[in-house]
Amino acid sequence: MFRTAVRSMAMAAPSRKSLTIGLIPADGIGREVIPAARDAIVAVKSELPDLKFIDLLAGWETFTRTGTALPRDTVQILKEECDCALFGSVSSPSRKVAGYSSPIVALRKELDLYANIRPVVSVQDTSRVDLIVVRENTECLYVKEENLIQTEKGKEARATRLITERASSRIGRIGFELAKARPRKLLTIIHKSNVLSVTDGLFRESVRGVPALSDGKYDDVNIEEQLVDSAVYRLFREPQIFDVMVAPNLYGDIISDAAAALVGSLGVIPSINAGDNFVMGEPVHGSAPDIAGKGIANPVASIRSAALMLRHLGYVSAADKIDKAVNDTLAPAKLLTPDLGGTASTTQVTEHIMGLIKEQYK
């Protein structure tokens, strides 16, 4: 079952009387799949506090209309009024555009969502793929400090890569917590310190140093290491050797996308961006402009992200019901969107999952 991969993330169920969720569809298919995630949450509302949803703006299209990809109102409402949020997808241009920067990267920094947790699990055979990529979410090349200069030999581009002991240690702690609660208790550190001995070397040493500061809490967790290129190779050849993978920002992004190919599609891979005080669900897929508006986007990643977010907040039973409905939809392989080889629409898959959730309450 998909839920076994992340059960260890659940916190104690809070005693709050209400749950306010920010909805940020952003661009492309985000506007089609975030409503499906909202429907899933509403379907389990009997197990949740009073629900309130707030629609918020961000993204490339917001930038083209207003001149900012992440309005200050969005950030302020998230900080002051919301308990959590769901983010869809963003269509960031591949070229430099003056005044534009990715809103999801900015949100992670604004809310200090330092851990991007991405479970990847085979629906029908978890013995093949059942792993979690734990991606550091605030540093590496994603600090976006780039410079382009003209030299006598032509243009020269340089980017600053930031790795700190603090960020590496706290993402390592998240990784150890997840690994400790899983049956295999295996943590694999992903790096390239044979080449990047200073930056990746600090990441490797910082993660390895977490157990020494934990008074024996993680003594039962086995630690392994993989160079990132070798890790990608072995991920495709023998994915079953991995359990929890902890990586710097860029490596974690690439590895989790690659792992999605092992389970059918990016359209089924969820994630949460988690910090100490806030959590935001986010499907791993992009904005998919080639299919946006056609009604064929896979809603599963967003629905699973909603469940992952609820689980992290402590609403385990509600999350279990959503995950079970998704599993029972995907496992028979009878109702699939085109990315999984089927012909079903976004609406058909969403309605089928909602029906299965409701059946669990009968």
Task: Please enumerate in sequence order all residues whose Cβ is within 8 A of that of 80, keeping only pairs 6 or more positions apart, or say none.
Answer: none
Structure tokens at 232: 């990608």
Distances (CA, A) of 69 to 89, 99, 168: 12, 9, 28
Residue 60: C-alpha distances to residues 63, 103, 272 (Å): 5, 8, 21
Please name the residue ranges forming H helices in 44-125.
60-66, 72-81, 103-110
Q: What number of CA atoms fall less than 13 Å from residue 154's CA on the CB side?
A: 0
Q: Which of 362, 301, 282 is nearest to 24 (CA)?
A: 282
**Angstrom distance (rounded) from CA 25 to CA 87:** 6
Catalytic residue numbers read 142, 192, 229, 253, 257
